Amino acid sequence: MIKFVASDLDGTLLDGERRLPEGIFPLIRKLHSLGVLFAPSSGRQYANLKKLFAPVVNDVLFICENGALVKFRGKTLHLSPIRDRDVLDAVREVRALPHLYPMLCGADYAYIEDTAMPFFQYAMLSYTNCKKVDNLENVIGKEDICKIAVYDEIAAAENCIKVLPQRLPNLRTILSGFDWCDISSPDANKGEAIRFIRKAFSFEREECVAFGDHMNDYEMLTECGRAYVPENAYPPLKKLIGRTIPANTEGGVLTKLKEIIAELEETT
């Protein structure tokens, strides 16, 4: 019996305009009434997720910053920050490469030092609490850094992901979108967050469902008994997972959630 559902947002649950699909909140409330915990699982920060899911904020669990931060009803359940010296090394390595723009993602705020477009626009859209600072190095040590998001002017799969992992061997660098890659501590990912949640809430793997569209979702998908990717998912991930639902622009996650609800109602 399903007890937990985690869904990525951008490219998965959100539509083509990066909006929550109409009807998601009644479905989350229905899942809650059936004893199922729903978890938005994203590279986005907690402040942004809390704002996005304000109507159901006390009914959902938030997996933020690609799993480095887990929040439930305002409390931090899990935090896996990057060591300060590794943050400094990463910032300097990213700066040394052309076409890349780093953002420090703290537990409370995101920090940028560049206002170049479209990087600045994307940063302000996805991060509700975002501060422009003169130098990112001045932020280090003042707040736990969950993740370093890197915007790539070219294409992340063709540029930064080919060079950053070798330059930052002590950290985890993963594709998180067409023009983004994320740098985190080696043990911070959505799969680790799911393992923590399963233990904390006594969920079995077979009782968990996950939806995701990119490689930063891979560990989360493999940690759940049922894993689905939308038709628009990153092709290598589709090949790895195999089980697909309609694209995010066609409401694939909502369709599957309705099926899960119908399945649960038949057994109660």
pLDDT tens per residue, range 73-119: 999 999 999 999 999 999 999 999 999 999 999 999 999 999 889 98
Q: Which residues of 73-87 are buried (b: 16+ CB within 10 A; e: fewer)?
A: eeeebbebbbeeebb
Residues in the chain: 268
Q: What is the pLDDT of residues 182-224, one digit of tens each?
A: 999 999 999 999 999 999 999 999 999 999 999 889 999 999 9
Least confident of 124-128, 136-140, 173-177, 235-239: 124-128
What structural domains and CATH numbers belong to the chain?
4-79+188-266 (3.40.50.1000), 84-184 (3.30.1240.10)
Q: What is the pLDDT of residues 5-63, one digit of tens each?
A: 999 999 999 999 989 999 999 999 999 999 999 999 998 999 999 999 999 999 999 99
pLDDT of residue 126: 76
Give how far Cα 91 sits from Cα of 86, 142, 149, 163, Å: 9, 15, 10, 14
- Given a contact cutoff of 8 angstroms between Cβ atoms, the answer to whether 234 and 215 are in contact is yes
Give how far Cα 53 sits from Cα of 28, 39, 242, Å: 10, 10, 29
pLDDT of residue 124: 82
Binned at pLDDT 50, 70 and 90, residue 176 comes out as confident
- Is residue 141 pLDDT above 80, yes or no? yes
Cα distance between residue 268 and residue 266, in whole Å: 6
pLDDT of residue 248: 97
Q: Which residues of 161-174 are buried (b: 16+ CB within 10 A; e: fewer)?
A: beebeebbeebbbb
- Is residue 72 pLDDT above 90, yes or no? yes
| Residue written as token pair 């998001």 | 149
